[in-house]
Amino acid sequence: MSKTSNLVSALVVACTVALAAPAVAAALPGPASVAVQGPKKHKAKIEAKADKTRVKVGEETKIKGSFADLGGQESVAGAEPVVVQQLQGGVWVDLTSGTCRPNGNFVFSLTFSVRASLTLRVYHPETDLYVSAVSNLISVVVI
């Protein structure tokens, strides 16, 4: 056999193998892909505001708000976590936390020991029932 016919034979074998490989791979049993999906998570809305946006050092202000279920679950039992956070150097830092029932209200009492202009928010982390949510920004000046 000549070099040309050997080359042609090698190309024919290579093409045959390349064309047959996907068919063989499709026929082989692969790992079973099981997608287990839990119940769909509901959207929530957090609203919050400070009863005093200007306080003296050591004076109490209350952050009042509500946790609304946007998924139509009126009878969800249990409580969901809510966290008051402060923006410090571009990072949200937890100040205090508690729980709130869906379609319920919450109140946090806060005092500050230094003069500052603060940016706060209320955050609900993602849970088994709800996706995460944040409130509007709350500005508090401590004089």
Domain ranges of the chain: 44-142
Alpha-carbon distance of 47 to 121, in angstroms, equals 9
Please name the amino acid found at residue 142. V
pLDDT above 90: percentage of residues in the chain: 60
Q: How far apart (Å, rounded) are the C-alpha atoms in residues 121 and 3?
A: 77
pLDDT at 7: 46
Q: Are strands 60-69 and 104-111 parallel, antiparallel or unpaired?
A: antiparallel
Q: Are 64 and 105 contacting, i.e. CB atoms less than 8 angstroms apart?
A: yes
Query: Is beta strand 80-88 parallel, antiparallel or unpaired with respect to 116-124?
Result: antiparallel
Do 139 and 63 form a contact (C-beta atoms < 8 A)? no
- pLDDT score recorded for residue 135: 97
Looking at the domain 44-142, which fold is it?
A: Immunoglobulin-like (2.60.40)
pLDDT at 36 > cutoff 60: no
* For the chain, counts of helices (H) and of strands (E): 1, 9
Tens of pLDDT, residues 90-108:
999 999 999 999 899 999 9
